[in-house]
Amino acid sequence: MRKRIHLLISGSVQGVLYRVNSKSKAEELDLTGYVRNMSDSKVEILAEGEENNLKEFIKWCYNGPDNAVVSEVKVKWSEYEEKFDKFEILV
């Protein structure tokens, strides 16, 4: 079943290639959506895809890339909306 997730990741997650690595992981899992840095030092991700792939992606987000220190991942699940055709990094 396809779903949508909205994630807010806190900690030392900017300036450590979190966005680039999350894009690679999302593409590996055939997810669509976006990742972007927030002004409050968090990373925001909106992703759509198969529920099992989203769960694996969430698990990855708790660790992130090697230099990241994740303190919290807030997850909101919602219905699949089919709004994206790829996963991209927003500036």
Known active-site residue 2: no
Number of Cβ within a 10 Å radius of residue 36: 14
In the chain, which ranges are E strands?
2-12, 32-37, 43-50, 69-79, 87-89
Catalytic residue among 2, 4, 19, 53: 19
Catalytic residue among 4, 37, 52, 53: 37
Known active-site residue 63: no
Phi, psi torsion values for 52, nearest 5 degrees: -65, -40
Residues involved in catalysis: 19, 37
